[in-house]
Amino acid sequence: MARTLVIDLDRCSGCDSCVVACKFENGVTLGNYWNTVVPVVPVGTHPDIDMYWLPLQCQQCVNSPCIAACPTGASYRDQENGVVLIDKDICQGCKTCLPACPYSSPEGNVKPSVRWYNEEANVVEKCTLCNHLTATSDGVENIEDTTDPAHAVPPCVHNCSCKARHYGDLDDPASDASQVIAQAEKDGRGVHLVEAEGATPVARYILSADIAAWRGLGV
Amino acid sequence: MSKTPVEWLLVLFKLLAASGAGVLAFVGISEFLGGRKRTNLIAIIIALVMIVVGGGLAVLKVGNPSSVMAAAANIRTGAPVSLEFLACGLTLVVGVIYLFVQRQEGPASKVLGCASVLGAVAVGYTTGYSHQAMVGTPVWNTPAIPFGFLFGALLLGGFIYLALSARDGTDGLSKVFVWIVAGLAVLTTLVTGVHGFAAPLDDRLFLYLALTPLVGGVGSLLAAVLYARSASLVWAALGILTAVVGGLAFRAFVWVIVKPGLLSFLDTSAYGQFFS
Amino acid sequence: MQDTLTRRSFVKAAAVAGAAITMSSALAGCFNESKEPEPSGSSSGGRDYYTSICHGCIQACPCKVYLQDGVVVKIEGHPDAPTSLGSLCLKGLNQIHTCYSPRRVLYPLKRTGPRGAADAAWERISWDEAIELAASKIAEAIEKYGTYAFFCSVGGGGAYSFMQAMTLPMALGSPTVFEPGCAQCYLPRIAVGGYMYGGADQSIADCAVLEPFKGLAPKEAAKGVTQDTKVLVLWAAQPSVSQTAQSGRGMAELRARGCKTIVVDPNFSPDAVKATIHLPVRPGSDAALILAWYRIILDEKLYDEEFTKFFTNMPFLINPATKLPWLATEVFGADAQTTDPNTPVYVCVDEGTGQVAPLPFGDPAAVKAQVNPQVLATATVNGAQSRTAAQVYRDEADPWTLEKAEEFCWVPASRIRAAIDLYAGAAVAGIANGVASDMEETASQVPVGLVGLDMIMGYVNKPGATLTQNNALPPEGSPRPTRFWNGFGGMFGQMYGIGYEVGATEEANAARIAAIPEVWDPSMQSPPFMNQSTLYAMNQLLLDRLGMKEHKGLYEWCHSHIPTVREALETGEPFHPRVWFDMSGNKFAVLGSAGAWYNAIMNGGADFIICQYPMITSFQVEAADLIFPLEEWLEATGASEFGQLNYRYPSPGIIHLGETVPNSVPPKRVCDAASLKLNEKLGTVTFGATGKSMEEMGIQFPLGLGVLGGADSEESIWQSQIDTYKAVPGAENVTTKEELLEAMKNRPDFYLPTPPEEYWTYGQHLVKAADGLPLGFATESRKCEVYAQILIKMGRNGFPYCYPREQAHIDSRLGSFGGDYSPICNVPIQKEAPQVANGDQYLGKYDPDFPLAITSGRVYYFHHGTMRHAPFTRELYPAPHVRINPKTAAEYGIANGDWVEISSRRTQGTNYDPSKAVGTELSYSGTKEQNTKTAEPIRGIAFVAEVVAPGVLWMERFWNPECYDSSQSSKTGGWQESNINVITNAVDPNFNEVFGSYTNRGFQVNIKKSSRPDRVWFEPKEFAPFLPENKNEYLPDDIGVTISNKALLTEPVAFPVAAGGEL
C-alpha cells in the first residue's frame, strides 16, 4: 500500500490553485498550508537559466518518522489503505513530530513545511490525500461522477490547471499515479524524489532535463 | 540555518528529571560504598521532588496530564518521547519504594539501589535519545546528545549528593564518590566538546563551547577535585552551579541549531513569504 | 457561436437587441473555517451540483457548483470542458469567498459624506430612489450643458458591460465612452486583424486563437479531431498565467504533445520557463526584433512564395507620392480592370519579363499563366521610382541585422536565428500576440508586423495556424467578402449606416447611404432606426469624439482617447463631460497615470459619478456618489453564448444575496428614466457641439437603438438561458428558471456542442465566389494586406470609419511613416528608454534620474482589479513582487524580500532633485510644459532572481482594499500604495499614432530600498476580516466596512447551521 501524489513538474506552472483547492476542501486556516508550491529559483545567469516549481506536501514516507516519534499515537497509518494520517481527537499539539519530519519546519509555522501547527485547534495538521474522498480510489477519475469513491481524486488533483498532479497507490499498477510514472519512464523523463536524510518518501516528481536540471527543493 | 525558539519547558524538564534520577543513582551507589542513612533519605526525597517537578513542566508544555499518560502508555510504538516519560515514571516508582526500603537493612535496599542506577541511566539517556531519534533533524543524529545529557545529569546528581553529604559531615564518605563525579565531569567535557565541534553551530559556537564543555565540564572537574581535597559544601555548591550551567546550555543549544537538514537552505526571511 | 463572451465574441454575436449580457467581474467566497477544521466536503451526502461557467477572468471555464442547504460549498472544474478538461484555477475557486464576502455591496448606496476615502460614508436607498437620482442628475446636466455633458466608462475583459457602456452615451447623445483596456488592451490587435485580412486576430486571451487547443479533449480525439499545432510563437503573451485553467491548461497539453514554443517576453514567465526558445526582449524594443525576422525571411526566401505572390499585396508596386498601391487603370487604362470593379487590379513587376504588368486577383494557377509577380522589386511607373510593398518592408528592415537586433533588443543573435529557423522551418506554425504590445508606443506596429509574418509564411486559414476563423465555411457562390466598420465588427455601421463597407465599390457605398430615408420608416427591415437625421447625429458623435482626430484606430470600438477625456475634465476643452456612469471595478487601479485622474476628479472635473459593481473599490470609495449593487457570477444569469471552443455551457444564477441585479439592468433603467425626462424638453436640449436642439435635429431619446444588451429585469435574461438550453435532451419543456435549474441538477452532460465540421474550418479564402474567383479576404484588394494600405487613408480622413463624412488629417508630426500612419512594422522613437548602444536615433533623451526599464504582466492571483479582497489569494500574494536581476539589486543595496520604492517621471522620487531634471520635454503638440508629477512613488517587495535582465524590473499592478477598511484608524483609497499604474505614462504624450495607446510597459523608473506602507496588510492572519461570516444577522460593527450606517448592510441570509450559520 503506497498511496501518494505524483506530480509532473514539466507541466506545473506554479499557479497555487492546488493550495487554494485544498484550503476550501479541508477548511485550512489562514497562514497554514497543507501544500506549498516551492519556486526552485534559477541557477545560471540571465538569459541562460532554467527553473521549475515543486509542490511540496506530506511525502507519505515508508518509514514515516512522524509515526515513530509521535508519543500519543495521534500520527498513525490507516489500517485499510496505509495512508499516513493524524487523528485530530488524539493529537495534543505537543509538536514532537515536527523535528522528526525532514520536510517540516520545527515550529510548523513557516513555508514550505508539510506539517503545520493549527493554533486555534491546538493540533498539528498535514495533507491527508483527502482520504475522506479517496480512501478506496484508484485515482483514475470518473468523468460522469467526480465523487465516485472508486475513482475520486483530491480537489488539488482535479482542479490543477496543468494536469500535473496525479493520485493513486504505487503498488497498484492500474492506478493513475503508477500509470503516469510508467509512461514517464517509457518517455525517458526523469522520475525523482525529494531526498532527505533518514526518510524514504513515497511521493514522486517527474522532470525532463530539457525543462530544467533536477535539484530537489533547490538546495 | 533556520533558527528555532528554544523550548525552555522541555529543557528544564529534561535537566531536572534526569539529574533528580542522578541523585537517586548516587544513593544507589552508596549502598555499595557505604553511605549514610540520613543523607540518603534526604537525597531520595530531593530526587523525587526534582523528577515530579520536571514531569510537571513536561505536562505544562504538552498541555494536559492525560496525554503524558497516553504517551507513556504508548510504549508499544517505541516512540522516544514515550520511552522518556516511561523511564521517568518507573524511576519515580523505584524512588518511592526505595524511600520505604532504605531504612531496613538487608538486600532489599541494595536491589533498589541498583534499580535506581538503572533508572537514572534510562532517564538520562532517553531525554537525549528523544532528540537523536528525530530523523528529520540530522544535526541531532549524534550519540553525543544522549550521552552528553546522561553524563551531565549524573554529574549534577552527583554534586547534589556530595553537597548533602558535606552537610552531614564527610567522615566515612568513600573517596570513590568524588572520583565518580570527577570521572563524569571528564566524560561530559569530552562528549559535549566533540558535539560542539561537529555540529554546525554558526555564530554562537563559542558561547556554546564556553558554557557547556568548559564551565559544565572542566569547571565541574575542578569543583570535584577541590571537593576531593577538602570536602566542603562550598565546592559541592560550585559543582552544582557549573553542572547546571553546562546542562542548561547544552539542552538549549540543541534547539537553536535544529534544522540544518533539508529545509535549512530556506532562510525563512528570504523565501518565507513568497512562493509564487 | 463563440468561445467566450469577450469583447471579440460580440463580433461573432449578431447585434441582437436584448441579448442580455450580465456578469460582474469580481468573484465569490464561502464560509469561515469553523473552530474544528472538519473537512468541509463529505464525499457525496446531500449535495446537488449545477453546471455553470466561471467568469473569473477574460475566458470562461465550465464548472460544477455544489450546493448544500442553499449555500455554495464547493466549486470544481467541469471534467467534460474541451480545453480546461476539469481544471479550475484559484480565481474560480475563490468565487466562494467573494460572493459571500462581508465587503459585498448588496443595496443601492448613496454617498452621505464628502468625496475621498478619508471619511467616506454611505446611506442605503431604494432601487427606485437610486434610478431617479441617477436619471435626474444626467437629465439636469444634459439640459444645462448639452448632450455631451454625459459620459460612460467600462472595464476590460471580464467586465461584460461593453455593449451597455458603448451604447448608453450614444443613446443620450454623447460621444464619450472609454475603457482602460481598449487602446491599451486588444483593440490594436483586433483592429489590425480586420484591417489586414478581415479575419480573426492573434489573441489567445480573447479567444481569437483557438486552433492550437483543437483535439486536446479525449472525446474530441475520439471523433477524429486532430491536434495540429506543432510550433507556436507566444509574442508578449503568457496564457499559463493570464488564462490559468483554460489556455493555461491548453498550453500544458500542447507542450506535453511535443508542440514546440517560442516565447518573446522580458520576464521569465512560466511559458518562457517551458519554452523551446525564450527571447527575453528589452521592454519596448519588439518592433526592431520583428524587423530582424522580416530581414532574414525575405532575404533567404523562407516565405511561402505562392501565397505571398497571389494572396498578399507584397508584390504590389507602391506609388511613392500617395504611398498607396498603383491601380492597373492608372497605368494601363480602364480596360486593365479585368475583374469585377469591387476587386481592383493592381500593378507588379513580372518576374519573367522584368516589365511592369497588371496583377489581377484570381486563382494562383490562372493568374500565374498571365503574370508571375516579383516579390522584391523596384520599377519606374508613370515616371515615378516605385518599390513593391515587400521592397518597402525590406528597406525598413535593412538596419536590423541579427547583430544590431542583439545590441538593441538585448537578445543573443544565436537565439533570434534559432527562433526564426524553428518558426519558418515548420510545415505550419502560428504567432499569438499578447496584450503587452498594446500598451507601448508600437501598439500598431507590432501587431501589423506579426500578422504580416504569418501571412508571408502562408500560415492563414490552415490547420495548426493561429490565423483561423472557427465558423462554418461560407457556401460556394457566396458574394465577394466585405466588412462593415465602426464598433465591434461594424455593429454601428450595420445599425446606423455610418462607415464605408470595405470590399464594396464607392458607388455601392454611396447608393447605400442615399437609400436611407429622411424619416425612420418602421416597415424597413434592417437596419432599424435608419434615417438621415439619426445617421447625421451618429456621424457627428464620431467626428466629435475626443482624441479621434489624431488616433482614428479608436473608431474600431468607437471609444474616446482616454488622456484627451482626462484633459477635457481638467480644462473643459473642447467640451466638459460632467456626469459619469462607470460600469467597472477600480478605475484608479487600472487607468494609466492614475494620479492624474485622481487630481482631475478631486479638482471638480466630474459633477456626479454613478458606479455599478458588487464591491466598493478605491474608485467608489474616493469618487462614487451613487453605487448600484451587482450580482457575482454565482448569482448572475449570464447570456447564452458562454462556452469553451465548440461547446456552450449554461450560466445560471444559482443563489442570490440582498438586492443585487445583473449588470445589464441599471444602464437600461437609467436610460429609459433619463429619456423620459429629456423628451419633454427636446426644444431646449442642444445636441452636443452642433448648437442645434434635438428638435431641430429631428431626433429624440433614446437615440437609435438605445442601450444594446440592456434588460429591464433578471427575468428577461433568464428567458435567453431557457430558450437556449431547451435544446439539451431532457430539458425540452423547461419554461421557468426553477425548471431549468431542476433540469440541469446533477447532470454531468448539460451543455450544447457544435459539430466539429462547423467549427474547425479552413481555406475560407479558397471557396469559389459568385464571380468564379476564390472568395479571398474582406479587404479592399481582396488579399491579405501585409502592407496595411487602409492605414494610410485612415490617418488622412478617417476612412473607413467616418464615411460618408470626413475626419480631419492627423498632425503630420505624429505620423511615423512620413506624416502618415505606418502601414508596416517600423521603429518609432521610444520616449523613455535605458542607455542602449548605438540606439540613439530610435530612443528619446536618456534621463539619468530614471535609469531602469520596467515592464509588467499579470500574476495568477488576479484578473485586472479583482480578487485583492480574497483572503486565500492575498495570504499567498499579499503585496506585489518587483522582479530584479541580482546584479541590479546589488547595485542598489537591495536584498531578496526587501520592501522597495519605485518612482518614475509621474511620481519623481522622494530624493528626486527637480534641478537635475533633464528639462521639460518638447511634446509633439508644441512647447507644452510637462510637469508630470501626479502622485507619490509606489512600493513593492523585491524578488531577486535571474528571471529578468540586468537593468530591467517587472511588477504587476496592485491595490489594497484594506486601506479604507473601517478597522483602519485613518484611511486612504488603497490605490496609491503599490499600484504600478501610478507610475505608468498617460500624461507625457508619446501615444501610439493609430490607437493613441499610452505606455503601461517599457518606461523608465528608479528604485531604492524602502519600508512597508502604512495600513497595508501583509501577514496571513491580517486578512481574516475579509473571510465570510455567514451569520444570520446584519454585520456587526467591529468587522467594519466603509459603510457607516449599520442598517444598510447584509440582509439576514439564511445560512443553515450545517453551513456554519448559528441557530
Looking at per-residue confidence, does B267 or B37 come out higher? B37
Cα distance between residue C364 and residue C761, in whole Å? 21
Provide the pLDDT for residue B65. Answer: 76
Look up cell 468573484; give the residue: C27
What secondary structure does DSSP assign to C747-808, as a single string? Answer: -TT-SEE--GGGTS---GGGSBBTTSSB---SSTTSSB-SS-HHHHHHHHH-TTTSTTS-PP
Q: Is B68 helix (H, G, I), strand (E, B) or coil?
A: helix
∠ Cα C336 C342 C346 (to 5°):
40
* Neighbour-count burial for A111-141, b at 16+ CB within 10 Å, e otherwise: bbbbbbbbeebebbbbbbbbbbbbbebbbbb
pLDDT(C180) > 90: yes
Per-residue pLDDT, averaged over C595-607, amounts to 93
Instruction: Quote the Cα angle for C364-C369-C371, to 5°.
Output: 85
Cα separation, C559 vs B83, whole angstroms: 77
Q: How far is A198 from chain C (nearest CA, A)?
A: 31
Q: Which residues 232-261 in chain B show a CB within 8 A of chain A? A: 255, 258-259, 261
To the nearest whole Å, the CA of C48 is away from the closest chain A CA by 11
pLDDT at res. C402: 98
- The pLDDT, as a whole number, for residue C43 is 37
The band of A201, judged by pLDDT with boundaries at 50, 70 and 90, is very high
pLDDT at C283 over 80: yes
Give the pLDDT of residue C909.
Answer: 61
Q: In sequence order, what are the beta bridge partners of C483?
A: C502
* C1033-1049: average pLDDT: 37
φ/ψ region of C636 (left if φ > 0, alpha if ψ in -120 to 50, else beta) reads: beta
Which residues does residue C881 pair with via DSSP β-bridges, in sequence order? C941
Q: Inter-chain contact B276–A106, Cβ cutoff 8 Å?
A: no
CB contact at 8 A, C9 and C641: yes
pLDDT at C79: 95
Label residue B141 exposed, middle or buried (CB < 10 Å: 0-12, 13-18, 19+): middle
Over 80: is that where the pLDDT of C609 sits? Answer: yes
Cis peptide before C574 (omega within 30 of 0): yes
- CATH assignment of C126-198+483-635+673-709+789-822? 3.40.50.740
Q: A92 and B62 in contact by Cβ < 8 A?
A: yes
B276 to chain C, any CB pair closer than 8 A? The answer is: yes
Residue A186: pLDDT over 50: yes
- Asked if B268 reaches chain C (Cβ–Cβ under 8 Å), the answer is no
Got the DSSP string for C154-221?
E-STT---HHHHHHHHHHTT---EE-SSGGGTTHHHHHHHHHHHSS--S-TTTTS--GGGTT-SHHHH
The span from the CA of C486 to the CA of C495, in Å, is 10
DSSP single-letter state for residue C286: H
pLDDT at B97 over 60: yes
Q: Does A135 have pLDDT greater than 70?
A: yes
Q: Write down the mean pLDDT value for chain A.
A: 94
Q: Which CATH architecture has domain B8-267?
A: Up-down Bundle (1.20)
CB contact under 8 A, B135 and A14: no
Cβ proximity of C498 and C803 under 8 Å? yes
A-C contacts at Cβ under 8 angstroms: 188
Contacts by A113-120, CB closer than 8 A, 24 or more apart: A113/A36, A113/B263, A114/A34, A114/A35, A114/A36, A114/A56, A114/A57, A114/A58, A114/A59, A115/A58, A115/A66, A116/A28, A116/A32, A116/A33, A116/A34, A117/A32, A117/A93, A118/A29, A118/A32, A118/C37, A120/A29, A120/C35
Mean pLDDT over C266-276 rounds to: 97
Residues of chain C with C-beta less than 8 angstroms from the C-beta of B274? 877, 881, 897, 941, 943
Residues of chain B positioned with their CB less than 8 A from the CB of C881: 274, 276
Under CATH, which number does the domain C830-1026 receive?
2.40.40.20
Instruction: Identify the weakest region by mean pLDDT among B241-250, C109-118, C773-782.
Output: C109-118
Contact predicate C100/C30, CB 8 Å = yes
In a domain, A217, yes or no: no
Residue C303: the pLDDT is 98
Q: What is the pLDDT of residues C183-227, one digit of tens each?
A: 999 999 999 999 999 999 999 999 999 999 999 999 999 999 999
Total number of domains constituting chain A = 1
For residue C656, the model assigns a pLDDT of: 84
The pLDDT of C23-51, averaged and rounded, is: 45
Please tell me the distance from the alpha carbon of residue C612 to that of residue C610, in angstroms, as a whole number.
7
Q: Can you give the pLDDT at residue B201? A: 67
Task: Tell me the CB-side half-sphere exposure of residue B120, using CA atoms within 13 A.
Answer: 31
CATH number, position A167: 3.30.70.20
What's the pLDDT at C941?
95
The more confidently predicted of residues C638 and C383 is: C383
Cell numbers at B107, concatenated:
538486600
* Non-local CB neighbours of C990 within 8 Å, separated by 6+ positions: C441, C829, C831, C844, C924, C999
Q: Which residues contact A112 (CB under 8 A, 6 or more apart)?
A: A33, A36, A38, A56, A217, B263, B266, B275
pLDDT score of C319: 97
At B106 the pLDDT is 74
Record: contact C860-B276, CB cut-off 8 A: yes
Confirm if C450 and C766 have CB atoms less than 8 A apart. Answer: no
A187 within domain boundaries: yes
Residue C21 binned pLDDT confidence (cut-offs 50, 70, 90) = very low
Which three-class secondary structure state does DSSP give residue A115?
A: strand
CB C243 within 8 A of CB C497: no
pLDDT the model gives residue C524? 60
| β-pair type (C317-318, C277-279) | unpaired
Is the pLDDT at B22 greater than 90, yes or no? yes
Q: In angstroms, what separates the C-alpha of B247 from chain A's closest C-alpha? A: 21
pLDDT in tens, C474-524: 999 999 999 988 877 777 787 778 889 999 999 999 998 888 888 776 666
Does residue A57 fall inside a structural domain?
yes
| Annotated domain spans of chain C | 126-198+483-635+673-709+789-822, 830-1026
| Domain edges within chain B | 8-267
Q: Give yes or no for A92 touching B (CB within 8 A).
A: yes
Query: For all residues of chain B together, what is the average pLDDT?
Result: 84
- Determine the Cα–Cα distance for residues A124 and A118; give it in Å rounded to an integer: 6
The answer to whether C157 and C6 are in contact (CB under 8 A) is yes
- What's residue C1063's pLDDT? 44
pLDDT at residue C5 greater than cutoff 70:
no
Best C76, C279, C747 residue to mutate vs chain A (most A CBs within 10 Å): C76
Express as a percent the part of chain C with pLDDT over 70.
89
Question: Which pLDDT belongs to residue A219?
Answer: 62
- Tens-place pLDDT, residues A33-78: 999 999 998 888 999 999 999 999 999 999 999 999 998 889 999 9
Domain that holds residue A40: 3-207
Q: By three-state DSSP, how is residue B63 classified?
A: coil
User: For residue C916, is pLDDT > 80?
Assistant: no
pLDDT score at C1043? 39
Q: Does the pLDDT of residue C320 top 80, yes or no?
A: yes
Q: How far apart, in whole angstroms, are the C-alpha atoms of residue C776 and residue C758?
A: 20
Cell of A10: 514539466
Could you report the per-residue pLDDT of C653-698, keeping only the tens digit for each? 888 888 889 999 999 999 999 999 999 999 999 998 888 999 988 8
- Does residue B273 belong to the interface with chain C, where contact is any CB pair within 8 Å? yes
Closest C-alpha to C56, from C89, C32, C30, C33? C89
With 60 as the cut, is the pLDDT of residue C918 above it?
no
Q: Is the pLDDT of residue C41 over 50?
A: no
How far, in Å, CA of C191 to CA of C188, rounded?
5
Alpha carbon of residue C298 to chain centroid:
32
Q: Please tell me which of the candidates C876, C881, C897 has its beta carbon nearest to residue B269.
A: C897
Has residue A200 got a pLDDT over 90?
yes
Per-residue pLDDT reduced to its tens digit, C699-748: 889 987 788 888 877 788 888 888 889 999 999 999 988 899 999 999 99
Is the distance from CB of C24 to CB of C632 less than 8 angstroms? yes
- Model pLDDT for residues C790-835, shown as the tens digit of each residue: 999 999 999 999 989 999 999 988 899 999 999 999 999 998 999 9
Q: Is residue C317 classed as helix, strand or coil in its secondary structure? A: strand
Instruction: Tell me which H or E stretch contains B123.
Output: helix B107-132
Please state the ipTM of this predicted complex: 0.90
As a whole number of Å, the CA-based R_g of chain C is 28
Interface contact flag, A159 C93, Cβ < 8 Å: yes
Instruction: Report phi then psi at C368, rounded to 5.
Output: -60, -30
C317-C320-C324 Cα angle (round to 5): 60
